[in-house]
Chains A and B, each alone.
Chain A
Amino acid sequence: MLVSQIGYYSLILGLIFSLILSVFSIKDLNSFNRKIDQNIFTFSLLQLTFVVVSFLCLIFSFVKSDFSNETVFNNSHTTKPLFYKISGTWGNHEGSLLLWLLVLTLFIFLFIIKSSNQPKKYRILTLLFQQIIIIGFFLFVLVTSNPFNYLFPIPNEGLGLNPILQDPVLAIHPPILYLGYVGSSIIFSSVLASVTQNYISSEWAKHIKKWVLISWIFLSVGIMLGSIWAYYELGWGGFWFWDPVENVSLMPWFTLTALLHCILVLERRQLLTSWVVILCIASFMLSMCGTFLVRSGILNSVHTFANDPARGIFILVFLFILIFLSLGIFFIFHKENYKDEKKFFLLSKETTILLNNWFMMYFLSVVLIGTIYPIFLDVMSTDKISVGPPFYHKLIVPFLIPFLIFMVFGSKLKWIKSEVNNKNLLVIFFIISIILSFFITKNFVRDLFLYPILIGVSLFLFFTTVVEFFNKKNVLSQTIAHFGFSLLILSILLNSILSSEIITNMRVGEKYYYDKGVIFFKKIEEKQESNFNSIVGHFKISDKRGNITNLEPELRVYNQPTIITSEADIKTTLLKDNFLVMNLVKGNEYFNIRYQVKPLMLWIWISILLISIGGMISFFKEKNEK
């Protein structure tokens, strides 16, 4: 209880210091010192410290199962394992907002101490713009989402966290995702500051690139973790459902990827300045918009937090204040360079980066419109429609073909002006890819048009990126990232057409014969763990080549709250995943079995890691060059 008081007042102090910091910053803007006032460093550190203290207090309350705290009561239980008590801190609305504040204050502190070689006014203005966001979130937490509400009488037991959320991957997914998602706030604040100072230049680009990389890398890994969790925990072998919450994390990724490429252009030539500004603003605005969509209750999803319209209105207003602010600054301060009529050569890296952006923005618009359109329709006509995977697939998949082809050439072309070298090699690769693709898809796909070409083009990109490793002059970060991307697309496509599934009802002791082998339902075992009882099914799957896979899916009965979950057993190997999940069939002793063979699942995760590693190499490279 005392801890809750400390946590609460820590937040208040944090807000107070935010305001003090803002005042000092405005003062320092007009001062003639060439260096930033030392107080500013101190106050931003203090601001961060108070948020950290508050966050630790909440963790402590969770660990001690302090049910006088309403958030702990709603989201925890004495029988939860310690690790999940801790991670339960950020697995709810209030706690995750503290995580928002933590990242916001941490990043601005890091920014201010690591940007000593940047112009003073720019640094202070970045701080000020970030403060607007920080103060907004402090108010949001204190007014609508206090994590330290007092409950009396103090309940003996909590309402428990959903057992589906008790998973190690899900535990680290929010912190990592937020480092990316919330981290784009720095890019936002920085670009606004930079525009007012007319500082959009290659120097600024070099400086902000680091922050873009950090945000992008963490966002990529965060999204990957969410998918991994969905695959191993939630689902029926799926890893992406085009659920609104998933889409919301994906949208900033599109703008950040586009931005990352444009920054490369801006670093070298004074081009695309307006577009870079727009992308920087859009990334964080999409994050804010996503936060609004997910927390306000306006959308229907399996991931949404508890709904509360008051919170929704606060975020909506806050979001639009930020949008209008950015709009205002852009139109008032931004100056385009008309006199340097730099030109684009058709065959150059700049052009392919433009093409990349063009497609990224298209993909973004598909996801954004798909997610938001039902809301618009519902308000305007009270007709409710659903927009699900078929929509996204139909609009995105065909466009992947030209996109992948452009990617092949993009990495090959040089800056400013270039020509395509090794034309012969490319042609050979292309032909091999198409033939290979035809053989792969022949037995698996109905329509002999879209998918064979798509796989052919992915293979084409794959081969060209592999070959790039042998090119002595290659840019390692780019090579790895593009290779990772081609591997990602290839794995997803091959996985989607080569996966197979058997659904059947079985009794203990039965054998089910299918075209490639037999499933033997050996026995049932009952187990007891700390907060659940489970029924484990033992299955032996033998295929015609003599390979044996043993799978043990579970049915778990949790005690608080009483939920029955079905835990799939997944055996992951380099080549494929064997996936088995079972469910009770009502009213008799049959179990409904779903057995799936899913090739290349592991490579989907590995490829995203490779993409992130490419980013990390780029991040550390500049340091060495200094």
Chain B
Amino acid sequence: MRFFKIFLLIFLFTNVTSANVEIENNNLKSKILKNIRCLVCQGQSVYDSESEFSDSIKLLVKKQIVEGKSEEQIYEFLRDKYGDWIIYDPKLNKNTYILWLLPLLLFLLGGAIMINKLKFKK
């Protein structure tokens, strides 16, 4: 009886975890697909598009997730084949330092101007 209970527990547990893994993989796949540009469409992500190209990419991403590749590895693969343009998240490299840092610099600049020009009193 005890053996049966343990067996049942293990059975249920593995089922639950494999289902969880599938849901997780699907979530990861959706997340990645939303970040990939459909190169033959006008401003749509692969997730939103039904083109041939998107279908191939969806298959590729699924295959690589199952192979155990990480999100960043998949992006790197696609960037290598198609250039940075295909990924919606601009990587932080020499091309994009200004892109990422300028808003933050402007924020600090704004703060500095505010403190400088306006006279505050408690």
Contact = CB atoms under 8 A, between A and B. Distances in A.
Interface of A: 235-236, 238, 241, 243-244, 300-304, 341, 343-347, 351, 354, 358, 361-362, 365-366, 369-370, 373, 377, 381, 383-391, 395, 399, 501, 503, 515, 566, 583, 586
A391 B114 contact: no
Given A302-B44, A343-B121, A389 B102 contact: no
A236 B45 CA distance: 11
Which of A343, A354, A390, A586 is the most central at the interface, judged by chain B CB atoms within 10 Å of its CB? A390
B49 to A, nearest CB: 9
Contact of B95 (A300, A377, A583): A377
A385 B89 CA distance: 9
B103 interface: yes
Contact of A235 (B26, B48, B89, B118): B48
B107 A391 contact: no
A366 B43 contact: no
B118 A344 contact: yes
Contact of B120 (A304, A341, A344, A391): A344
B42 interface: yes
B19 A386 contact: no
Contacts of B47: 236
B55 to A, nearest CB: 8
A372 to B, nearest CB: 10
A365 B103 contact: yes
Given A345-B122, A358-B110, A386-B87, A395 B50 contact: no
Interface string B28-55: 0010001101000111110110100001
A244 B43 CA distance: 9
A341 B119 CA distance: 9
Contact of B103 (A244, A385, A390, A395): A395
B95 A343 contact: no
Contact of A503 (B26, B34, B84, B96): B26
Nearest to B118: A344
Interface in B81-117: 83-90, 95-96, 98-100, 102-104, 106-107, 110-111, 114
A358 B95 contact: no
Contact of A390 (B30, B42, B88, B98): B88
B95 A383 contact: yes
Nearest to A359: B107
Given A361-B106, A373-B99, 6 more contacts: A238-B48, A302-B42, A383-B83, A384-B85, A386-B88, A388-B37
A388 B89 contact: yes
Contacts of B19: 515
A346 B122 contact: yes
B70 to A, nearest CB: 15
A370 B96 CA distance: 11
Contacts, number: 110
Contact of A386 (B23, B90, B98, B106): B90
B103 A362 contact: yes
B86 to A, nearest CB: 7
Which of B42, B43, B95 is the most central at the interface, judged by chain A CB atoms within 10 Å of its CB? B43
Contact of B84 (A244, A300, A343, A383): A383
Contact of B111 (A243, A343, A358): A358
B37 A386 contact: yes
Contacts of B84: 383-386
B121 A387 contact: no
> Which 8 residue pairs of A and B lie closest in terms of their CB atoms, listed nearest first?
A388-B88, A390-B89, A301-B43, A302-B43, A384-B85, A362-B107, A366-B103, A365-B103
A381 B30 contact: no
Contacts of B104: 395
A387 B90 contact: yes
Contact of A370 (B30, B37, B99, B110): B99
A236 B103 contact: no
A186 B104 CA distance: 32
A264 to B, nearest CB: 17
Nearest to A299: B43
A383 B43 CA distance: 18
Interface in B11-30: 19, 23, 26, 30
Given A345-B122, A354-B118, A358-B110, A386 B99 contact: no
A313 B4 CA distance: 79
Contact of B121 (A346, A384, A389): A346
Contacts of A243: 43
A301 B120 CA distance: 46
Given A238-B48, A377-B95, A362 B85 contact: no
B111 A387 contact: no
Contacts of A389: 34-35, 88
5 contacts: A303-B43, A362-B110, A388-B37, A391-B89, A391-B100
Nearest to A564: B50
Nearest to A244: B43
B95 A354 contact: no
A388 B45 contact: yes
A301 B42 contact: yes
Given A385-B84, A388-B88, A390-B88, A369 B120 contact: no
Contacts of A345: 120-122
A586 B55 CA distance: 10
Contacts of A381: 95
A347 B100 CA distance: 32
A300 B43 contact: yes
Nearest to A236: B48
B96 A385 contact: yes
Contacts of B86: 386
Contacts of B118: 344, 354
A463 B70 CA distance: 41
Contacts of B110: 358, 361-362
Contacts of B95: 377, 381, 383, 385
Contacts of A358: 107, 110-111, 114
Contacts of A344: 118-121
A278 B41 CA distance: 38
A346 B30 contact: no
A304 B42 contact: yes
A302 B44 CA distance: 7
Contacts of A361: 106, 110
A603 to B, nearest CB: 23
Which of B34, B42, B107 is the most central at the interface, judged by chain A CB atoms within 10 Å of its CB? B107
